[in-house]
Structure 1
Amino acid sequence: MSVFAFLGTLLSHLADVIDPLFGTSATAAAIVLFTLGVRLALHPLARSAARGEGARAALAPELEKLRRKHKNHPERLHKAASEMYAKAGSSPMAGCLPSMVQLPVFYVMYHLFATGSGGDGLLDHTLLGAPLGSRWADALGHGGAFGPQGLVYLGLFALIAAVATWTYTRSRKAAATMPVPGADQVPGMASLTKILPLLTFGTLVTAAIVPLAAGLYLAATTAWTAAERAYLTPLRTAKPTAKARV
């Protein structure tokens, strides 16, 4: 049995369990609950990544001093930076590996909901009358933007836009209070720093072109990510365990 078939079977069983509560929208509710359950299982990795980000952020001022001190001696800079990270019990890649481990899981989940490859007629079900396998363009052809199906998509877009706006606002505030050391010395970095937060709205565009099931997944996982990042903020601002020697 493929991983998609396995996940599809789990979703079907979950939908059967909650059917008395959600009726014809049980599969849609199962997608949201299943997504949140997977994100909860991956939370320890998110905590580990947050600690790694905090360690790098805390050591950034010391690393900037090293860059200025050894700007004409790359080998000395590399050696001094390695010693600094070792002394603090961290590494330049701290936090990256846990994030990378999660990517295959996110891909499998998205592929499952975007293609219905789990079988069991996953995309044949509906949410308030809107087929999970249909797209926004299909809804526009059945009553327009404010028709029964169109309103389902408008509600989904409103939720994703609210999460994206909140994430964008927090990202801009974080960038203002904790600027990246040396960013002004890298050509184009300042502009890139301003543009990156806008990418959070890319989810809104994606939700408009993928099946409704995948849109529900995107809404659930981005909402979880926003809440999780806010919850883990203290770990990203933790002080280093030891001061580096410059």
Structure 2
Amino acid sequence: MDLFSLPPLALLLDLTTRALLALTAVLDPLAPGAAAALAVVVVTVVVRLLLIPVGVSQARAEQTRARLAPRLRALQERWRTQPERLQRETMQLYRDEGASPFGGCLPLLAQAPVVGLLYAVFLHPTVGGRANTLLAHDLWGVPLGRSLASALSTGSTDAATLIVIGAIVALIAGVAELTRRLLRPSVDPSAPAWTRTMVGVLPFTTAAVALFVPVAAGLYLAVTTVWTLAQRLILRRRFPLPA
């Protein structure tokens, strides 16, 4: 079942498509042939500007987690044989400090609906009973609605598709590696080993996702990944982690 066939979601999809078409028309004189791709970039920047307060909250939460790390390790040593007591004491510590162990997830959760909408817009050939003309737009000759997975399954893979999607994936992976090198991830020391491993791997999963979503959604992911790194570097100066 297509969830966007439900009336509320169908209306949201229609409004999003109309807004992107209107923005594309405005940007067409600036970027003939790539106006829809530029519209996706503009939408990404607007979303990230709106999420700056969330980014600040994330930076504060990361600073708090790093500051609490010694106390969390002490709790882990004391209650390691009582997992339920350890969890209660850990959550109580966060409550006492007015912090949350899940603060770092807020930007991802906040952006998920936007990525989902972009995915849906460039996946549906018809929206609101009309042909989706956004699918006629491309980025350097590659339709914005094409993904590497769909191109391989339909046999429509060509050099341009491999180059454009490969460049998007390489950019995301490269920024993820820079993030790993430049920003020491803050991990709850009481968390299980698999959680710490996931924190290290998580930035690279976005590159894998870009292989399966339309080029438009992949472009959003690439721009937001670059923005995230730049924003975190700036906020790390404002909210430095303890040595």
Query: After TM superposition, is the score higher than 0.5?
Result: yes
Which residue does 1:108 correspond to in 2? 116
CA contact (8 A) 2:51 2:107 kept: no
Give the match's secondary structure for 1:209. coil
Q: What amino acid is aligned across from residue 134 of structure 2 in structure 1?
A: L
Q: Which has the higher contact order (CA 8 A, sep 6+)?
A: 1
Q: Relative to structure 2, which stretch is displaced further, 98-107 or 26-35?
A: 98-107
CA contact (8 A) 1:168 1:198 kept: no
Q: Relative to structure 2, which stretch is displaced further, 60-69 or 211-220?
A: 60-69
Render the CA deviation track for 1:102-140: whole Å, top value 9, x for unaligned: 155345344335524894422221112211122336389
Give the match's secondary structure for 2:30. helix
Match of 1:123 among 88, 110, 135: 135
Paired-residue identity, %: 31
Q: Measured at CA, do residues 62 and 209 of structure 1 come closer, stay the same or move farther in structure 2, by a change above 3 Å?
A: closer
TM-score by length of 2: 0.72
Which residue does 2:234 correspond to in 1? 231
Q: Structure 2: state its 5+ residue gaps.
A: 1-9
Shift of 1:19: 0.7
- Count the aligned residue pairs: 226
CA contact (8 A) 2:180 2:200 kept: yes
Q: Does 1:156 align with 2:171?
A: no
Which residue does 1:202 correspond to in 2? 205
Shift of 1:44: 0.8
Shift of 1:43: 1.4
Shift of 1:23: 0.5
Q: Structure 1: state its 5+ residue gaps.
A: 240-246
Separation (CA, whole Å) in 1 of partners of 2:156 and 2:89: 64
| RMSD value, Cα | 3.6
Shift of 1:59: 1.8
Q: Measured at CA, do residues 207 and 93 of structure 1 come closer, stay the same or move farther in structure 2, by a change above 3 Å?
A: closer
Which residue does 1:215 correspond to in 2? 218
Q: What amino acid is aligned across from residue 66 of structure 2 in structure 1?
A: A
CA contact (8 A) 2:176 2:204 kept: yes
Q: What amino acid is aligned across from residue 138 of structure 1 in structure 2?
A: A
